[in-house]
Amino acid sequence: MPSTTPGQRYSSKATEPAVNSSTQRIRDTKYRHVFATHSQTRPSCLSADAEKAPSFVGFRNLMILVLIVSNLRLMIENFRKYGVLICIRCHGYTKQDLLYGAALYLLVPIHLFVAYIIEWLAAQQAKGAVARMKKACEDHDKPEMQALARRSFNSTWRVVAFFHGINATFNLIIATSVVYYNIHHPGIGTLCELHAVIVWLKTCSYAFTNRDLRHALLHPNQSQPLPEIYASCPYPRNINFNNLCYFWWAPTLVYQPVYPRTTHIRWGFVFRRVVEVIGLSIVIWIASAQYAAPLLQNSLDKISILDFVSIVERVMKLSTISLFCWLCGFFALFQSFLNALAEVMKFGDREFYGEWWNVSSIRTYWTTWNKPVTNFMRRHVYSPLVGRGFPPALAQVIVFVISGLLHELLVGVPTHNVIGVAFAGMMFQIPLIALTDALQKLKGIRGKVAGNMIFWISFCLVGQPLAALLYFFAWHAKYGSVSKQFQQSPAMHFFHRR
């Protein structure tokens, strides 16, 4: 038996064998069959007692490859089963859909201009009040001046708020009812509803911001300083047609008299972003038509007989495609489209999203994936509520309720099935936020990874495909083949209420 080497376990003092010696060195060595391959004690690199943790970067590459290969295989399977399902001329829209859609596209922005007129009148009134205040100031009648300002502001605000409310509400009601009753095609309907909601949010922001600017003008002594960036265009100079038109097209939902701007338009940048939008739209269309559509179609009977294992299997299969479409759609809209628009508008602040894919808390997800809406909610809902003394947690719940209503409007109305799944999905975020917040506090890096996994599972792997399945089923329950085939199914009793 060979004797043991003295000293500790795994002493690294032993000399390294000449394993990597050059060819010349091998040729010089006389005894080639005797060199000491094993000259030191050392652990395996995957063992817990290894000196440094091994790198697993190769497995990242492997995961990418396995994902590509498995999905290529599913594409072959899909093609052999269904052939080519993509068809350029097979659209589901009617002439009426297009006409109503075009009409809404042209008419909805009018509400923004109505808001402008309201604000213009309020600005005139404020100008008069300022003149009267100046006069009172010259007369050294300070209490009279303050009372004048308060009265002038409050009475005007009541009138202004009333007309703004009517205007904004009519925007939503008209667009929603036209989409629900007159536009059958869910794609066109979604675009119209989305446009109406965006204009509605812009109108609200325009009204709220100008209210506070007017308040600052009429209460020059009470007021805290306004942001420096607004100094170049003070109220009421910002109430002009060009300023409104800039806000109309700017890629933001938050009104500011002045925005940070870039100095010139890089047309090459715009061109690349537009190509991205077109390319990704085609990719999403192919993925939906060729892969998602047959999958949704052949899951209809599974849902109608409430075969839960099959529903789970369908949701799992659908999750990859819906995730793919979601990621492509996110990039196309938030990176490519909004950046192209911002470039053309010389809009400087391009923070349309944060690194939401790394979030470890669902709360952070909702504040980073869609910055335009987050900014709106923070400035016009959350901060004012907290400022008025609401507990922050309640203010957050209110934000989620509003967000849930808007989501239901955007999904339920164009699909003609206000079944509340989108709203319920938003409400379900609240306990998830509590869960991931608790996880964050509990552990270190593992808590972060667990939080991120919960986000992906709840949102992209379960939430979205399940919601897509339910709205698709509801659509077919109302219009499609299902309602004829499965009139007596248990699921039908739930969905088929019309």
**Chain residues 351-410 in contact with a second copy, contact rule CB under 8 A:** 351-359, 375, 378-380, 383-384, 386-387, 389, 392
Residue 140, both tokens: 């050294």
Query: Distance between CA 195 and CA 107 in Å, rounded?
Result: 11
| Binding positions for a second copy, 84-143, rule CB under 8 A | none
Q: Which listed residue (185, 407, 416, 476) is catalytic?
A: 407
Distance CA 288, CA 271 (A): 26
Site string for a second copy, 43-82 (x = CB under 8 A): xxxxx------xxxxxxxxxxxxxx-xx-xx--xx--x--
Q: Is 17 in the site for a second copy (CB under 8 A)?
A: yes
- Mark whether 496 is an active-site residue: no
Q: Which is nearer to a second copy, 337 or 495 (CB)?
A: 337
Give DSSP secondary structure letters for 114-175: HHHHHHHHHHHHHHHHHHHHHHHHHTT-HHHHHHHHHHHHHHHHHHHHHHHHHHHHHHHHHH
Neighbours of 349 (CB within 10 A): 16
> At its nearest, how many Å lie between a second copy and the CB of residue 85?
18
C-alpha separations of 343 from 202, 242, 277, 347, 370 in Å: 20, 18, 14, 6, 19
Cα separation, 316 vs 321, in Å, equals 10
Among 16, 19, 87, 89, binds a second copy (CB under 8 A): 19
Nearer to a second copy, 180 or 324 (CB): 324
Q: How large is the C-alpha radius of gyration of the chain?
A: 31
Q: Which of 105, 113, 163, 456 binds a second copy (CB under 8 A)?
A: 456
> Given the complex with a second copy, which of 214 and 416 has the nearer CB atom?
214
Q: How far is the CB of 168 from a second copy (least distance, A)?
A: 15
- Report in angstroms how near the CB of residue 377 gets to a second copy at its nearest: 11
> Which residues from 289-318 bind a second copy, rule CB under 8 A?
309, 312-313, 316-317
State the DSSP H helix or E strand holding residue 250, giving kind and residue range, or none if neither.
none
DSSP state of 352: S
Minimum Å gap between C-beta 331 and a second copy is 7
Q: ω into residue 236 within 30 of 0, thus cis? A: yes
| Of positions 201, 284, 461, 470, contacts a second copy by CB under 8 A | 461
Segment 189 to 248, residues that bind a second copy, using CB under 8 A: 205, 208-209, 211-213, 215-216, 222-224, 226-230, 232-233, 238, 242-243, 246
In whole angstroms, give the CA distance from residue 233 to residue 238. 6
Q: What angle do CA 422, 424, 427 make, to 5 degrees?
A: 115
- Site residues (CB under 8 A) for a second copy, limited to 239-278: 242-243, 246, 252, 254, 256-264
State which of positions 424-453 bind a second copy (CB under 8 A).
449, 452-453
Give me the active site residues, please: 407
